Amino acid sequence: MVDQTTERTIIAAAPDACYAAAIDFERYPEWASDVKMARILSRDDDGRAVDVEFRAAAMGRSTTYTLRYFYGANPRRLAWRLQKGDITRRLDGEYEFLPVASDPASCEVVYHLAVDLAVPVPGFVKRRAEARIVRTAVSDFTRHVESIG
């Protein structure tokens, strides 16, 4: 069964700064608490990472997975789909970076994630793992972006 979650937050940084931090995959291990390694496997004609392999802590063990990133026409949206994973069948999501009309130096970040594990685990363990992923994607990301802005 696929679990989905969406989280929103306001970051004290412009949307372009947030987007730039989100596509700087090689720096993820510096700020994303569970990411231990990020390696770019392929790039598009514009030099942007397309396939990125990650190694991360998950449910008391290490997991490795490869995500394919899609940039599309919207310069404030970054989407990804799981290409390969050792404990996941699905790990798809997106960031969207929306300007805040009342404060151009801020950004509303919308994070969406859909996860389907390849191994059966109790519901409370899945919820705990989901909470960690979202915390990394939103809270750790916010701290990182605000520290460099």
pLDDT tens-digit series, residues 5-16:
899 999 999 999
Please state whether the predicted TM-score (pTM) of the whole model is above 0.75. Answer: yes
Q: Where residue 72 sits, what CATH number does that domain have?
A: 3.30.530.20
Q: Range of 56's domain? A: 3-148
Q: Which mean pLDDT values do the consecutive 10-residue runs of the chain (149 residues) have?
A: 84 95 96 94 97 87 93 91 92 95 94 82 62 72 89
Q: What is the pLDDT of residues 115-134, one digit of tens each?
A: 887 766 656 566 666 666 66
The rounded distance, in Å, linking the Cα atoms of 47 and 43 is 5
Domain count, the chain: 1
